[in-house]
Chain A
Amino acid sequence: MILNNARNIYINYTSTVLYLGASSGTTVSHISDITTKTIYAVEFAPRSMRELIQNCNDRNNVIPILADANYPEQYAKFIFEEIDVVYVDIAQPNLTEIAILNCKKYLKDGGLLILAIKAKSIDVALPIQTIFNAEIQKIENKGFEILEKISLSPYSRDHLMIIARFYLKPT
């Protein structure tokens, strides 16, 4: 993302982050170095969670939650503050819908959504650009303002990073 001339990494030392698809926690650990606030790391697979819990033993600002991001209310009981950034990095066909659901529930007005779209996990048969356009359309329809689109090639193929601003009442 940075290597491909991103303007900003959008996460600073006062960001509270809801991270969906934490996996074993590599990116989570980077974010935890940047921010002084809390990171809610949500992951669904018990196998990855095993690593994640051990990896964030020494990181007091990471809250590891084993839950399904399709149902954002399930981890409501662990959240106790304003969410500035929702970071979505999941390999599901409905990842955009999941991202929108979570923003709708938790993200503050004017907060940021950072969405990593993996084209191949949405549809293997469609041309990549068609998939990206469809997903961007979905986000824009929900009143998000797209700030930046960054292709992650050649570091990871067929990935697009979307940064969008969320408004509670679309203007």
Chain B
Amino acid sequence: MIAYLLETPVGMLITDQNGLIQNYFLTTALLDEQLLLVLHYDESVYQIPAFVQFINQINVSKYNLVTETKDMANLLESKYEGTIKIAPFDRKFQDLRINLSKILANINIPSSVEELTIISRKNAKLFSRDRIRESGQSSDVHIINAVGVLENTTKFINSYAIQLREWYGSHFPELTDKLVNDIELYAKIVNLYQKRDTIEALNLVNDLHIKEEYAKEIEYQAEHSMGGDLTESQLDAIRIFSKTILNLIDFQKQLENSVNTILQELTPNLYTLIGAQLTGKLITHAGSLEHLAKIPSSTIQVLGAEKALFRALRKKTDSPKHGIIYTWPPIRSAKYWQRGKISRLLSGKISICAKVDFFNGEFIGKKLLDELEAKIKDIEERFPEPPKHERKKKPKDYSSKKKKEIARKKAYHMSKSKYKSGIKKSESN
């Protein structure tokens, strides 16, 4: 006999074709934890006595069950002795569902639409909240946030550095970025001494552990400064500002350490291959490690260069060679005609590492890095000269907007050779 397994807010019902209930398993009386097991189709539902009883009952009748979800079929498969058919788009289910109140009335279950709304709403919220909790526990979220904060902190420090130099420069303009390049040292000097008269070489050496000659140079410049004098309160404001910058630098270092530790544990291969910062950025851009593992390496290559990529797709210009993987030092320092080759190579390796890391494979990062370095050397040897052929001409810039639109449409519909002749035609017009 064909029977429909109908999942409803109040539980599972087994009905025949006319909507008469044969068996049922009610979830209304269950505790929240048990209800969640049912909603998630967890194997542990077999620990709920009522469910076991329900399975035993339907095992006696041996229906030809029709169910909507694959998960439900998988769950029943191990214990149920009859046949199970999965038919998600059988309209019969919706027809039964429409009459749910009537069907439930036959077995004396409170079933007005209002009551069902309350129950369904409670279940849905419980289910959704649980899945939100799960997603909150994934380490991807933490990496993405930590990397975001880290990037912003670096930005803050840089812009604050410029402002501090500007501000303190009114008092001691000779302390330029040529003399003191490191902003941490600069902020420390400002924080410790404030007034330039109090800067002495001996103190500098003792407090900040810098070289004596260097300290003497600073002292000399302080004595012969052309800066204006500031009042105590003005200097105090600058001191507070420099203290903030020092705190930020401290915070940045700590955060960097903890991001490193997280990434080393989570993605040891990627970490070895490209370092913490780039790994973090890639995961942020992809959205999650899972997504990074699933996208093709050609996508990884242009992650972060979306604007250029879509411009290339629309206007048929050259596609970008690299996105954020550009920050990997060997690519940045490579010759421009080698960069595309190297970034293609690197994105391939990144893709392998991401897959291995996501599926908890063994550690191969070191091996891949060695391979990569060897291949980069090979590329450098094989392509020592820039290519001789001329670069592709950019499509002509049309003056009127309408012409642009026409060219764009033509560009899409025509193949490359036809496309070129298309431009010539519109030029002659």
Per-residue interface assignment for chain B, residues 56 to 83, with 1 indicating a CB less than 8 Å from any chain A CB and 0 otherwise? 0000000000001101000000000000
Contact for B314 among A49, A124, A168, CB less than 8 A: A124
Contact for A125 among B93, B100, B120, B313, CB less than 8 A: B313
B412 touches A76 (CB 8 A): no
Can you pick out 9 interface pairs between chain A and chain B where the beta carbons lie within 8 Å of each other? A38-B117, A65-B127, A76-B7, A76-B69, A77-B8, A78-B9, A78-B124, A80-B120, A101-B89
B125 touches A80 (CB 8 A): no
Number of A-B contacts defined by CB within 8 Å: 92
A66 touches B117 (CB 8 A): no
A60 proximity list for chain B (CB < 8 A):
117-118, 121
Main secondary structure on A side of the interface with B? mixed
Per the 8 Å Cβ criterion, residues 90-134 of B in contact with A are 91, 93-94, 97-98, 100, 113, 116-118, 120-121, 123-125, 127-129, 131-132, 134
B123 proximity list for chain A (CB < 8 A):
77-78
- Count of interface residues, chain B, beta-carbon cutoff 8 Å: 38
A46 touches B131 (CB 8 A): yes
* Complex A-B, nearest 4 residue pairs according to Cβ-Cβ distance, in ascending order: A46-B135, A77-B7, A66-B128, A73-B88
Contact for B132 among A53, A71, A76, A124, CB less than 8 A: A53
B121 touches A81 (CB 8 A): no
Per-residue interface assignment for chain A, residues 37 to 53, with 1 indicating a CB less than 8 Å from any chain B CB and 0 otherwise? 01000000011011001
Interface centre among B8, B124, B310 (most CB of A within 10 A): B124
A73 proximity list for chain B (CB < 8 A):
68-69, 88
With A80-B116, A125-B412: A168-B124 Cβ-Cβ less than 8 Å? no
CB closest chain-A residue, reference B130: A66
Interface centre among A60, A65, A79, A82 (most CB of B within 10 A): A79
Q: B-side interface residues toward A, CB under 8 Å?
A: 7-9, 39, 68-69, 71, 88-89, 91, 93-94, 97-98, 100, 113, 116-118, 120-121, 123-125, 127-129, 131-132, 134-136, 310, 313-314, 408-409, 412
B120 proximity list for chain A (CB < 8 A):
38, 63, 78-80
Q: A-side interface residues toward B, CB under 8 Å?
A: 38, 46-47, 49-50, 53, 60-66, 71-74, 76-82, 101, 104-106, 108, 124-127, 168
**A66 CA to B89 CA, complexed, in Å:** 20
B128 touches A105 (CB 8 A): no
A46 touches B124 (CB 8 A): no
| A-B contacts besides A49-B128, A80-B120, A127-B412, 19 pairs, CB < 8 Å | A49-B132, A61-B117, A63-B121, A65-B128, A66-B127, A66-B132, A76-B68, A76-B69, A77-B8, A77-B123, A78-B9, A78-B123, A81-B100, A104-B89, A105-B88, A105-B94, A125-B310, A126-B412, A127-B408
With A77-B8, A105-B88: A53-B125 Cβ-Cβ less than 8 Å? yes
A72 proximity list for chain B (CB < 8 A):
88
**A38 CA to B123 CA, complexed, in Å:** 15
Contact for B100 among A46, A80, A124, CB less than 8 A: A80
CB closest chain-A residue, reference B136: A46
With A78-B9, A80-B116: A53-B128 Cβ-Cβ less than 8 Å? yes
What's the nearest-Cβ distance from chain A to residue B395, in Å?
14
B118 proximity list for chain A (CB < 8 A):
60
What's the nearest-Cβ distance from chain A to residue B37, in Å?
13
CB closest chain-B residue, reference A126: B412
**A48 CA to B117 CA, complexed, in Å:** 23
B98 touches A82 (CB 8 A): yes
What's the nearest-Cβ distance from chain B to residue A54, in Å?
10
A125 touches B128 (CB 8 A): no
B313 touches A124 (CB 8 A): yes
CB closest chain-A residue, reference B310: A124
B100 proximity list for chain A (CB < 8 A):
80-81
A65 touches B98 (CB 8 A): no
What's the nearest-Cβ distance from chain B to residue A49, in Å?
6
B117 proximity list for chain A (CB < 8 A):
38, 60-61, 63
With A49-B128, A127-B412: A81-B68 Cβ-Cβ less than 8 Å? no
CB closest chain-A residue, reference B88: A73
B128 touches A64 (CB 8 A): yes
A76 touches B93 (CB 8 A): yes
A50 proximity list for chain B (CB < 8 A):
132
B69 proximity list for chain A (CB < 8 A):
73-74, 76
What's the nearest-Cβ distance from chain B to residue A159, in Å?
18
With A76-B68, A81-B97: A46-B132 Cβ-Cβ less than 8 Å? yes
What's the nearest-Cβ distance from chain A to residue B24, in Å?
14
B124 proximity list for chain A (CB < 8 A):
63-65, 78
With A76-B68, A78-B120: A64-B113 Cβ-Cβ less than 8 Å? no
B7 proximity list for chain A (CB < 8 A):
76-77
B135 proximity list for chain A (CB < 8 A):
46-47
